[in-house]
Structure 1
Amino acid sequence: MFTASPRRFFFALCLLGTAAYLPGLDGGFAFDDYPNIVENPALRPDVVSFNTLASAALSSDSGPLRRPLASLSFLANYHFFGIGPKSFKVVNLLIHLCNGWLIYLLLTRLMPKFLSDLAQASALAGFCALIWTLHPVNLTAVLFVVQRMTSLAAMFTLLALLCYSAARQSAISQPFDSNLGLWTGVGIFAVLGLATKENAVLLPLYALMIEVTVFKFRGSTWIKPAYVSALVVGVSCVVYLLGPYGYFDATYSARPFTASERLLTELRILVFYLGQIIFPNPVNMVLLHGNWTLSTGLFQPAVTAGAAAFWSVAIGTALATASRFPVVLFGVGWYLVGHVLESTYIPLELIYEHRNYLPMLGPVCLVCVGVACATEAMPSHRTLLAGSAITILAVMTTYRAWQWSDSFTLAFTEARHNPESARARMEYARVNFRRFMVEKRPELLVTTREELHAAIKYGDQDFHPLVSLVNSYLIANAPVPERILLSLQQEMRTANPALSWQDGVITLIRCQILRTCPANPTTVLRVTAAAFDNPRLQPAEKAEILEWLALYYTNVMGDAVAAARAIHDAVEIQPNDWNYRLRWAEILATQQAWREARREVRRVTLALTKFDYYLKPTQVARLETLRAKLALLE
């Protein structure tokens, strides 16, 4: 192994981490970065004020808490450094390096309990931190900009755990010290973590793993009752969410799997994650994984039973050896509790490697301690293994970072490593089409359509590739083949609208409103008519399509009467949605129906008075413009 002062280790961690990620810092935005950051006007206010900060903080639709602190960090990034992706990635890398240092500090407190050679405990803590920092599985939490939500929440969680560990060590060594400052730090960092991403709710479970394996409830009489109370509250919340109220039922209707299928499939995915942590294979490390075969039963496929047996043995072994080898319980338990939120019942997408960002610390510690113990009598072998592991991981991460060095390389790599992923093929099509628009090379358009056809093939219940295929003809000013248009109409009539379905229709309309595509009213009207024929179309989705159709009538077809009829129908469907009323007021004003327009403006203004912090800057500007126009006519 190696020994180094904390200061030298800090510089080594920063140097190696920066070198590994350096090739990827020049890469662009990708995938979900666009709706969350690039195309989010709330993050680019003209004036920084309380209202614009509040609007930016609540501009994300992700999670029940809307992740305000993460959004504010993106706003700060833009405000000080502009919209260029490099500054966002550099900040992400700094957060990641900070997390590596925090892991080192945390493990220096825990490692003496796991390792008989106390003299090597600090060195092993540093080695684990280096392995974690340089591991290629963590790359998407750094170079995929929007995953700052993950890394920043992890930073606050680690800070809270550091405070917790320090408070518990102090309570054991100095029983009469209240440690109020440390416990306050736990609370503050927990709140900051929750404001960044909901994963911070797992803080008590991480702390429990530390408590069970290291501190063992010593030094404080209230610790064990506190955990019991937290467990009761947690179980009660789970029962409430999963019980007769069906909190997740609506979301599961938008997924191509059931709750039981997700739970069974995640057993296999957790084994896959673990394999990538212990034996990383860059070919299998992609942002968008292909269509995983769902586990519809314990033996369908049979490997599901194998995964269930594996986890049963792992948990049983960890519990049976907890007193003699606490690191086994720590490694297995930390990994599994870290996946409780995103890899169990909640109806998220099945697989993303950034979900391992903090959970992977458990297996890393377990493997490192195991190897250290096995090579205790062979210090030269231990040093060789440590150096080899760090070198291999650093090279893998550097290679992956190079793949992220530009949008085309990333899209090409994702599509070739993951050919059955509709989203990966769609992204590669998008990148090729963007190049076609600049270079006008016909082969790029051919590749675009080939990739879109592949995305249609693999995109189970995903309408976006089909819509993009239609748009590829419209933008190229070519007639849309009738068979493709008929396929899109058929999908609109019969498919489940809950699957982000209305977004496909809106994409088609927006393209022509923004003049990206030549006007083609026949196509738009045929597709929207098919959408309205869908018997499963929900009122909210129908109202949203009607609003966009009203904009299309106004901006493309110049038909004010049809626009008024469409937006009026949207208001009738969703009478309490003030955004539709604002749009209705704008259209009334264009028809010089001043009295009716003022009436709707008053209604909207009343709604804004009550819910001002939900406003988007563009909507506020629209209201103020309309209000000023009507005031001039009084």
Structure 2
Amino acid sequence: MSQPAMNRRSLAATVHGLASPVRLVALALAATALAHAPALWGGFLYDDLRDIVANPAAQATTFLERLPHTVRPLLKASYALQDAVHGVNAAAFHAVNIGLHLGAVVLVFLLVRRGVELAGLEDRANRIAILATLLWSLHPALTDTVSYVSGRSSGLSGLLVLAALVAATGRKARPWLAFLCAALAPLARETALVAPLLLLVFQATVGRGQPGSLRRAAPVWAGALVAAAVLAAMASHRDLVSFSLTTRGPLDALRANVFALPEALRLWLMPWEISILPRQPVIHGWDDPPTLIRSAALAFVTAAAIALRKRWPVVALAVLWTLMAMLPTNSVIWRVDPLALRPLYLAWARCPGTARRFIRTRWRCSPMPRSSPRMRPGRI
């Protein structure tokens, strides 16, 4: 072999080594930790004071007493546990939030890589996964979840949802882990009940060729049903749903969210317009042109993604995942502030790499046949 050929092979081996999954994940973790480290000196801000510092359910000495009367019991348990260990130490609370986000970074990388592999581009999976992970983990919209202690509800539940999906979609499924994570996630934030639907979207798009879909999905559905039963048994959660339904009916809530959902997605694409308190959109009547146009656009995008899920599975996954993840907060349940940033934490966990993936495959991406040796699900 000639010397130039040997040099090229050596260079290729070096580049391949630098692009190994472990090194890429380490790069993402380092960049994310560096970006969010200033939060350690942020203290308690705004809702943190009400939800943690002055909340008896978040304090070690009164947690058990207040448990039957609170919401999101796993979230409150995490606060109370920290209070028992180190007291009201803001830096320690922020450190846990950053740690949860770093855990989610690893899971997003694994899930994106797995989806790309299942779509038939295993040779590009690591590059696409690291790009998508960095675009997601460093986006300013996630600051509301990571940098505020009270944002832990989205961070903790998002981590558990991602863990459930990674456990369910692996080359070797881990049913008990998938069940446990799916059951715990809604106890941190009730919107995590959407986990089985996110798995359904994954399986209907990039995961269509993965064997044992029902066997993989069953533990996630079972975990979500157990969590739903627990939440339904808690009077505080029933009161919360009742308050939303009596404040505004489902149709009024839906009309407001027809405007809030596109605005939230716009802020993701235009991060320079993100603020601590996003300006709520102006809501029009059902028969007004702005409402009709937005409703038609959302319906068209949803229908197109469903229709094209076999031809362009990665694009369909991005669209349907985003809409499904936003469903609990931006559909028929009224929120005082329809436009919020925290729902974007999970909604965009699968989307940042889609544009690059879409362009690189020249608008066409079909799953590899099951018999193809390239189609091997990602390895944890």
TM-score where L is the length of structure 1 = 0.49
Q: Residue 353 of structure 1: SS of its match in structure 2?
A: coil
- Deviations, residues 604-627 of structure 1 (Å, cap 9, x unaligned): xxxxxxxxxxxxxxxxxxxxxxxx
Counterpart CA distance in 2 for 1:215 and 1:267 is: 30
Q: Residue 17 of structure 1: SS of its match in structure 2?
A: helix
1:274 counterpart residue number: 265
Q: CA distance change for structure 1 residues 45 and 151 in 2, over 3 Å: closer, same or farther?
A: closer
For residue 333 of structure 1, the aligned residue among 307, 320, 332 is 320
For residue 251 of structure 1, the aligned residue among 241, 244, 247 is 244
- What displacement does 1:323 show? 1.3
2:180 counterpart residue number: 188
- What displacement does 1:218 show? 5.5
Q: Percent identity?
A: 22
Taking the TM superposition and a 5 Å limit, the aligned residue runs for 1:220-231 are: 220=212, 222=214
1:79 counterpart residue number: 84
Counterpart CA distance in 2 for 1:220 and 1:294 is: 45
The answer to whether the 8 Å contact 1:327/1:365 transfers is no
Counterpart CA distance in 2 for 1:224 and 1:269 is: 34
- What displacement does 1:252 show? 4.0
Task: Determine if the alignment matches structure 1 residue 36 to structure 2 residue 51.
Answer: yes
- What displacement does 1:148 show? 0.5
- What displacement does 1:217 show? 7.1
The answer to whether the 8 Å contact 2:118/2:210 transfers is no
Q: CA distance change for structure 1 residues 140 and 246 in 2, over 3 Å: closer, same or farther?
A: closer
Counterpart CA distance in 2 for 1:183 and 1:224 is: 7
The answer to whether the 8 Å contact 2:186/2:192 transfers is yes
Q: Residue 195 of structure 2: SS of its match in structure 1?
A: helix
2:153 counterpart residue number: 149
- Deviations, residues 133-165 of structure 1 (Å, cap 9, x unaligned): 011111100011111011101111111111100
Q: Residue 36 of structure 1: SS of its match in structure 2?
A: helix
1:292 counterpart residue number: 281
CA RMSD of aligned residues (A): 3.2
The answer to whether the 8 Å contact 2:260/2:281 transfers is no
- Deviations, residues 391-437 of structure 1 (Å, cap 9, x unaligned): xxxxxxxxxxxxxxxxxxxxxxxxxxxxxxxxxxxxxxxxxxxxxxx
Counterpart CA distance in 2 for 1:221 and 1:201 is: 19
The answer to whether the 8 Å contact 1:152/1:193 transfers is yes
2:24 counterpart residue number: 9
- What displacement does 1:13 show? 1.3
1:351 counterpart residue number: 339
Q: CA distance change for structure 1 residues 160 and 76 in 2, over 3 Å: closer, same or farther?
A: same
The answer to whether the 8 Å contact 1:89/1:143 transfers is yes
The answer to whether the 8 Å contact 2:315/2:358 transfers is no
2:95 counterpart residue number: 90
For residue 211 of structure 1, the aligned residue among 197, 203, 209 is 203
- Deviations, residues 297-323 of structure 1 (Å, cap 9, x unaligned): 141xx3222211221221222123221
- Opposite residue 271 of structure 2, the aligned amino acid is N
Counterpart CA distance in 2 for 1:221 and 1:118 is: 21
- What displacement does 1:359 show? 0.8
Please say which structure displays the higher CA radius of gyration: 1
- Opposite residue 266 of structure 1, the aligned amino acid is N
The answer to whether the 8 Å contact 2:264/2:339 transfers is no
The answer to whether the 8 Å contact 1:57/1:67 transfers is no
2:116 counterpart residue number: 111
- What displacement does 1:132 show? 0.8
For residue 34 of structure 2, the aligned residue among 19, 24, 33 is 19
- Opposite residue 33 of structure 1, the aligned amino acid is D
The answer to whether the 8 Å contact 1:261/1:297 transfers is no
Counterpart CA distance in 1 for 2:276 and 2:139 is: 15
- Deviations, residues 411-465 of structure 1 (Å, cap 9, x unaligned): xxxxxxxxxxxxxxxxxxxxxxxxxxxxxxxxxxxxxxxxxxxxxxxxxxxxxxx
The answer to whether the 8 Å contact 1:298/1:304 transfers is yes
Taking the TM superposition and a 5 Å limit, the aligned residue runs for 1:597-616 are: none
- Deviations, residues 572-615 of structure 1 (Å, cap 9, x unaligned): xxxxxxxxxxxxxxxxxxxxxxxxxxxxxxxxxxxxxxxxxxxx
- What displacement does 1:295 show? 2.8
- Opposite residue 195 of structure 1, the aligned amino acid is L
Give structure 1 stretches of 5+ with no counterpart.
47-51, 171-178, 238-244, 377-634
Task: Determine if the alignment matches structure 1 residue 55 to structure 2 residue 48.
Answer: no
Greater RCO (CA < 8 Å, at least 6 residues apart): 2
Counterpart CA distance in 1 for 2:265 and 2:176 is: 35
Task: Determine if the alignment matches structure 1 residue 160 to structure 2 residue 164.
Answer: yes
For residue 197 of structure 1, the aligned residue among 186, 189, 199 is 189
- What displacement does 1:365 show? 3.6
2:132 counterpart residue number: 128
- Deviations, residues 209-250 of structure 1 (Å, cap 9, x unaligned): 1111133275338559969x99xx9xxx9xxxxxxx999565
Counterpart CA distance in 2 for 1:159 and 1:289 is: 30
Q: CA distance change for structure 1 residues 323 and 252 in 2, over 3 Å: closer, same or farther?
A: closer
TM-score where L is the length of structure 2 = 0.79
- What displacement does 1:32 show? 1.9
Give structure 2 stretches of 5+ with no counterpart.
1-14, 230-237, 365-380
